Structure 1
């Protein structure tokens, strides 16, 4: 049997191989230089698609699950368009007694599933409320509070409606602190919560993570005496709280819960949830 004869590649073939190698190297460099999105997929999310904890999981990860507690806690969930139509009866039967539903983002996005989610939670007996995903680099705090109140974030004293939540966390669309200094971020948050209270008579709940709060507000302590805290930390314990708060009201402890991903614990029994709803 004849052995195959080794033939040196022609000049054109050498150029082709070199071109492919250079293109491959350029692609790898471009991918390595591209900023990762908050969900870790390497692609910036579509505006409006953000949800509670979208950046917490990416930036802080999972550090464990709750191992026990010395106080009574009440299970809850938070949902957005990512969950679509929610099986509320399944959640209710599993022990979930309260829920928050994303209503708005910025001044242009409304959750298309808000009616089914907000109304469905109420219909099965849950105490429910709405939250707003803040985008501080797109418009002012007062403007976003107005948009929230006008599109699903209002409060009513019916014993079943929780005060609105300002979801302020890692920017899924760009720079972590939305291009704001710590003092500018504090001013933006103050504008939002002041306008929300003026419109509804209730102090808005602030949802955030301790790490983000330290980085982007300079660990400002001025909201602890007026606004309930909903802390995000996927770990076995709540851990350190942002400055100004001696205790948390709610804790988002996992993004991989049953039926829907985001599960939460209210720091108290169900009657305390009702008290927050009643104001």
Structure 2
């Protein structure tokens, strides 16, 4: 069953069942109070920890800004998952042509995915190239602190040829204002803090997942990350669209939130050898 409907039901029920959801999603050993930051406690529509890659894209017109980016002829199918999907049928996905997968590992410094082990090791076991992503909350702690939390909870990288660098999921704040209360310059500084610490810890630049409309609004369409950080663009309008400033091409494209088996489906801009090359570094 497509899990996107489950997400919507959870979102609508969060006001009544927030406490139960927080217990279900909170990492082991973290107090219930840590599931919500002081800045949004009592007002958030969703409990802290319930965000996922692309949570704001559909609500903001599919994330698109024009239609100019041109993909390579060959694209390699991938998926991204979070705790909403639970135990994933990786064999079915492999048989359908999926060859790489990202799993939500962490959010802020208060959440770890309770299904991470199955969702991270499962694709590896069937032959996929796998990796982890971190949902950023720039209003809670610094980028460097969140990068450390991510690496310490499954978001690292290994030179085994089967693990892609971790991804920073930076998009609309599902718990408050779109840009997390930060100015454009402060947002750029926050992202640099995360990128620099992730590089320091792993030797790799993280992938940056975003949507052009959010990036333009919240960073002023800053171009400085394009030289080193691979771009994962979100656009559900049929093409990757216009890319954020600086990036001449995208590495990955999240093209739908309603694909088979898991909902979120993605395309890598190139054949499997390009995926393997990014994994090897």
Tell me the TM-score range normalised by the shorter chain.
0.7 to 0.9
Match of 1:155 in 2: 157
Q: Which has the higher contact order (CA 8 A, sep 6+)?
A: 2
The one of 165, 187, 204 aligned to 2:167: 165
CA gap 1:201/1:138 in 2 versus in 1, 3 angstroms: same
Tell me how far 1:40 sits from its aligned partner.
7.9
Unaligned ranges ≥5, structure 1: 1-38
- TM-score, length of structure 1 as denominator length: 0.82
In structure 2, what is the Cα distance between the partners aligned to 1:165 and 1:258? Answer: 23
Tell me how far 1:58 sits from its aligned partner.
1.2
Match of 1:113 in 2: 115
Match of 1:187 in 2: 189
Q: Over alpha carbons, which structure has the higher Rg?
A: 1
Match of 1:58 in 2: 59
Contact residue 14 and residue 46 of structure 2 kept, 8 A: no
In structure 2, what is the Cα distance between the partners aligned to 1:235 and 1:40? Answer: 25
Q: Aligned with 1:252: secondary structure?
A: strand
Match of 1:26 in 2: none
Paired positions, count: 237
- TM-score, length of structure 2 as denominator length: 0.82
Spell out, residue by residue over 1:217-272, the C-alpha distance to the aligned partner (whole angstroms, 9 max, x if none): 00000000010000000011111000010000000000000001000000000000
Tell me how far 1:69 sits from its aligned partner.
6.2
CA gap 1:238/1:61 in 2 versus in 1, 3 angstroms: closer
In structure 1, what is the Cα distance between the partners aligned to 2:49 and 2:62? Answer: 23
Residue 274 of structure 2 is aligned to residue 253 of structure 1: no
Contact residue 40 and residue 58 of structure 1 kept, 8 A: no
CA gap 1:69/1:154 in 2 versus in 1, 3 angstroms: closer
CA gap 1:209/1:122 in 2 versus in 1, 3 angstroms: same
Tell me how far 1:70 sits from its aligned partner.
5.5
Spell out, residue by residue over 1:197-230, the C-alpha distance to the aligned partner (whole angstroms, 9 max, x if none): 0000000000000000000000000000010000
CA-based RMSD = 1.6
In structure 2, what is the Cα distance between the partners aligned to 1:41 and 1:109? Answer: 20
The one of 141, 144, 151 aligned to 1:142: 144
Contact residue 165 and residue 206 of structure 2 kept, 8 A: yes
Q: Aligned with 2:56: secondary structure?
A: helix
In structure 2, what is the Cα distance between the partners aligned to 1:127 and 1:240? Answer: 27
Match of 2:207 in 1: 205
Q: Aligned with 2:186: secondary structure?
A: helix
